[in-house]
């Protein structure tokens, strides 16, 4: 074999099995805000000017994101969902924003959002119509991609209503190409697998090649039963979907509904913890202008966001269940592990869970360092595989911890004092 051929073989052996969409975007799960769950298709600006889908809503959200620490915490994309366009395309066949609700047009809105150091997302549909009945992009992929690029849009959520299911793959792929051909980096958020599952098992290699994230399952509602159903679906399909996730492409279990009406605080903590474990996009759908301080603190919790944004980019999954507990674990960079223990029993009070029963606890041999993040921050210090730590978990709440293994090289240089904390040896024996 020639040297060049040999090099090619080596390179191809080194490449990961599933390539991500090659647009350099979503190297970490996307963070931002998306209007749908909270504001839906409220187009009544006459009687509800504060909450209707209008340029004002996104401008106000962007203002708050900068002023109230959201941008600093990592939330970057301000995203428009359905119901923004006019029911008619313009004379050149281009989509246009509803003139009454978006008097400045989308380009001006994008300029405003960019002036705040944020990015703008928009919504369209692969089929004839959007889910709420606005013009779809079928037959207009190039034109719509170019229009979004001309407007300086940064993200496209591409829905799958009113489309022949057999043609979903072709449609999503063609729009991906059309976006790439504009030369503008536009993050591509798909719903391809969600619409394809009723027909056949989606091809996640192709999806990862085409999209930066993809919805698999039903829309999230503002309720614990909805969040639970998403977790159940994800765990039931984890063998198929988890390997597809990684830098550049992520499974999308839909928006965070933290800060709304339907979840107790424990349930909000569960959504935040599990969305971080699942390496999900963190797209909040809430009213940032009026949000309870505890929800805000949770959504801006740096330690949870660090798990979500971990540089290794591996999605976590359910590793154990029993006695109405579920253990979810996510491998993190530097051989660390995030562990979430969800109490699924919706009756009674807090229940204890022996964290040593988590399958990942084996990284505590010989020793590990443990930090509890939820329900409250607590340094638990150095532990061994034999340690018995009981974490208390409220009904429908979650305890979230990180576990950092301590290598045997390190332990050889140290000894445990009687309290179980490390002291440095004066003379190290190598």
- Residues in touch with ligand GLA (CB under 6 A): 36, 81-82, 130-132, 159, 191, 219
- 55 or 125: CB nearest ligand GLA: 125
CB of 69 to ligand GLA, least distance (A): 26
Q: CA–CA separation, 256 vs 402, rounded Å?
A: 22
Q: CA–CA separation, 153 vs 78, rounded Å?
A: 10
CB of 323 to ligand GLA, least distance (A): 34
CB of 160 to ligand GLA, least distance (A): 8
Of these residues, 159, 222, 252, 254, which one is catalytic?
159
Find out whether 43 and 133 touch, Cβ atoms under 8 Å: no
CB of 131 to ligand GLA, least distance (A): 3
Q: In the annotation, is 219 catalytic?
A: yes
CB of 216 to ligand GLA, least distance (A): 11
Of these residues, 128, 152, 209, 219, which one is catalytic?
219
Q: CA–CA separation, 256 vs 222, rounded Å?
A: 9
Q: CA–CA separation, 306 vs 242, rounded Å?
A: 19
- Which tokens in the block code for residue 128? 């004839």
- 226 or 396: CB nearest ligand GLA: 226
Q: CA–CA separation, 374 vs 301, rounded Å?
A: 10
* C-alpha distances out from residue 36 to 191, 198, 216, 219, Å: 14, 23, 17, 10
CA nearest 402: which of 430, 372, 379, 364?
372
Find out whether 363 and 405 touch, Cβ atoms under 8 Å: yes
* Torsion angle defined by CA atoms of residues 107, 113, 114 and 119, in that order, rounded to the nearest 10 degrees: -100
CB of 76 to ligand GLA, least distance (A): 19
- 159 or 326: CB nearest ligand GLA: 159
- 82 or 310: CB nearest ligand GLA: 82
Number of neighbouring beta carbons within 10 Å of residue 217: 20
- 55 or 81: CB nearest ligand GLA: 81
- 131 or 155: CB nearest ligand GLA: 131
Strand arrangement, sheet containing 378-384: 317-322, 325-331, 337-343, 398-406, 367-374, 378-384
What kind and span of H or E run contains 112? helix 105-115
**Catalytic residue numbers, as ranges:** 159, 219
């Amino acid at each position: 074999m020639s040297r060049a051929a040999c090099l090619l073989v080596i390179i191809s052996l080194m490449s990961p099995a599933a390539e991500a969409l090659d647009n350099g975007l979503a190297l970490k799960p996307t963070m931002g805000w998306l209007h749908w769950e909270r504001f839906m298709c409220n187009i009544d600006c006459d009687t509800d000017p504060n909450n209707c889908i209008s340029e004002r809503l996104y401008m106000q959200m962007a203002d708050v994101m900068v002023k109230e620490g959201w941008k600093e915490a990592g939330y970057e994309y301000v995203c428009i969902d359905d119901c923004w366009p006019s029911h008619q395309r313009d004379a050149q066949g281009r989509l246009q924003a509803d003139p009454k609700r978006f008097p400045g047009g989308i380009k001006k809105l994008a300029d405003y959002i960019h002036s705040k150091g944020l990015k703008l997302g928009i919504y369209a549909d692969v089929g004839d119509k959007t889910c709420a009945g606005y013009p779809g992009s079928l037959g207009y992929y190039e034109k719509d991609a170019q229009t979004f690029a001309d407007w300086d849009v940064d993200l496209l959520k591409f829905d799958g209503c009113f489309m022949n299911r057999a043609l979903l793959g072709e449609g999503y792929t063609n729009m991906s190409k059309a976006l790439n051909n504009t030369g503008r980096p536009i993050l591509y958020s798909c719903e391809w697998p969600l619409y394809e599952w009723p027909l056949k098992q989606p091809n996640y290699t192709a999806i990862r090649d085409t999209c930066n994230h993809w919805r698999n399952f039903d829309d999230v509602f503002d309720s614990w039963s909805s969040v639970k159903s998403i977790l159940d679906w994800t765990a039931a399909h984890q063998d198929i979907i988890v390997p597809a996730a990684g830098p550049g492409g992520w499974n999308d279990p839909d928006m965070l509904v933290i800060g709304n009406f339907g979840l107790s605080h424990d349930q909000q903590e569960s959504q935040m913890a599990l969305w971080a474990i699942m390496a999900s996009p963190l797209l909040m759908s809430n009213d940032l202008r009026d949000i309870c301080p505890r929800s805000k603190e949770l959504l801006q919790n740096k330690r949870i966001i660090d798990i979500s944004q971990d540089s290794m980019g591996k999605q976590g999954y359910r590793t154990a269940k029993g006695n109405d507990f579920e253990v979810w674990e996510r491998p993190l960079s530097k051989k660390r592990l995030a562990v979430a223990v969800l109490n699924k029993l919706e009756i009674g009070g807090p229940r204890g869970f022996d964290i040593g029963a988590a399958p990942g606890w084996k990284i505590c041999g010989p020793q590990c360092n443990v930090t509890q993040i939820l329900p409250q921050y607590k340094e638990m210090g150095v532990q061994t595989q034999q340690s018995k730590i009981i974490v208390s978990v409220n009904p429908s709440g979650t305890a979230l911890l990180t576990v950092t293994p301590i290598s045997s090289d390190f332990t050889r240089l140290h000894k445990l004092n009687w309290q179980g904390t490390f002291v440095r040896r004066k003379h190290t024996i190598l």
